Amino acid sequence: MTDAAAPLSAHAAFLVGQLGFHTAYRFADLLAPLDIKPRHFGMLKLLGQHDGRTQQELGEALDIHRNVMVTLVDDLEARGLVERRRHPTDRRAHAVYLLPAAHALLARAEAVVESLDTELLAPLAAEERATFLDLLQRTAAGNGLRPGIHPGLTR
Amino acid sequence: MTDAAAPLSAHAAFLVGQLGFHTAYRFADLLAPLDIKPRHFGMLKLLGQHDGRTQQELGEALDIHRNVMVTLVDDLEARGLVERRRHPTDRRAHAVYLLPAAHALLARAEAVVESLDTELLAPLAAEERATFLDLLQRTAAGNGLRPGIHPGLTR
């Protein structure tokens, strides 16, 4: 029998999904004036940490599917945010480099993440926010999620 | 300047998105043997709480777009889980009723949610799980999320 008394909001898994999708939609809305989507931001952040690596190296290191990687780098290149250059030693490979516009955009997008954090955590007291962050980090790590890599990029 | 020292995993908004999408993918995987998707489960739960209401009443009460509602109820009807019957007083309206198969399926899907909760919260101690649930619930409520209604249904 279905237990109608067990609401979805009593399940951490449901709440995490509800908050995660809400936050993703809000992030997309807030990023729209910058003309990028959340996945472009996520990829730019990762590229910034691995500047000059080849697409293949990046894909393997980050467990991002080759097609996703190529499509996102194409988008970023068309927006003048990254460029592919021939790899100095491997002639068939292309290394990806952030362009100056990407650094400026990343700084603006980081400010958006900050404001989204503030909005999301507004219902909690300061010490609760620190507790929440710690619990989120340990839950993410314990479930095998790699820091800074959104599952939307790898699935 | 971009502060490369501020990783995404220091942001609650990113972590919530990362965990939310991970959990949604896991839920979809675990539901696959039942031949339903997470949104079918979410809609069945809501229909179960409002058995016999018309689609229009449901859509308005739950803030779910008419097209989303009709598509999901069509899917559920095709799977033999709900039926539309002519409303007793409003001849142009159709009320939606769960069929017995839906109650059996809901019970199985509830067990999946339970096991997903267990998996998600495994990295935390028992008292931390209670704290995490409380923080998630208050964060969701404080951000205007309605209990049991996933943003994927309303956007």
Contact state of B155 with A25 under an 8 Å Cβ cutoff: yes
Greater confidence (A121 vs A59) lies with: A121
The answer on pLDDT for A105 being more than 50 is: yes
The average pLDDT across B80-105 equals 90
For B152, half-sphere exposure in the C-beta direction (CA atoms, 13 angstrom radius) is: 21
Question: For residue B101, how many other CB atoms are within 10 A of its CB?
Answer: 12
Please name the member of B6, B25, B117 whose beta carbon is closest to the beta carbon of A11.
B117
Instruction: Give chain B positions within 8 Å (CB) of A118.
Output: none
Cα four-point dihedral sign B51, B54, B57, B63: positive
The answer on pLDDT for B75 being more than 90 is: yes
Question: Quick one: B146 exposed, middle or buried, by C-beta within 10 A (0-12, 13-18, 19+)?
Answer: middle
The average pLDDT across B125-141 equals 98
Domains detected in chain B: 27-146 (1.10.10.10)
How do residues B56-70 score in pLDDT, each as one tens digit? 888 888 888 888 889
Q: Is the confidence metric ipTM above 0.95 for this complex?
A: no
Residue A4's pLDDT is what? 47
CA distance B112 to chain A (A): 11
Instruction: Give chain A positions within 8 Å (CB) of B138.
Output: 123-124
The average pLDDT across A109-114 equals 96
The average pLDDT across B94-106 equals 94
Residue A55's pLDDT is what? 85
H or E element in which residue A27 lies: helix A12-31
Buried b (16+ CB within 10 A) or exposed e, B54-77: bbebbbeebebeeebbeebbebbe
CA–CA dist A81, A131 (Å, integer):
36
pLDDT band at A28 (very low <50, low <70, confident <90, very high): very high
The answer to whether residues B98 and B43 touch, using CB atoms and an 8 Å cutoff, is no
Contact state of B20 with A19 under an 8 Å Cβ cutoff: yes
Instruction: Give chain A positions within 8 Å (CB) of B127.
Output: none
The answer on pLDDT for A27 being more than 80 is: yes
Instruction: Give chain A positions within 8 Å (CB) of B23.
Output: 13, 16-17, 20
- Which of A2, A29, A82, A145 has the most B C-beta neighbours within 10 Å, making it the best mutation to test the interface with B? A2
CA–CA dist A55, A63 (Å, integer):
11
Percent of chain A with pLDDT over 70: 97
Contact state of A147 with B122 under an 8 Å Cβ cutoff: no
CA–CA dist A36, A30 (Å, integer):
10
How do residues A49-94 score in pLDDT, each as one tens digit? 888 888 888 888 888 888 888 999 999 999 999 999 988 788 788 8
The average pLDDT across B116-121 equals 98
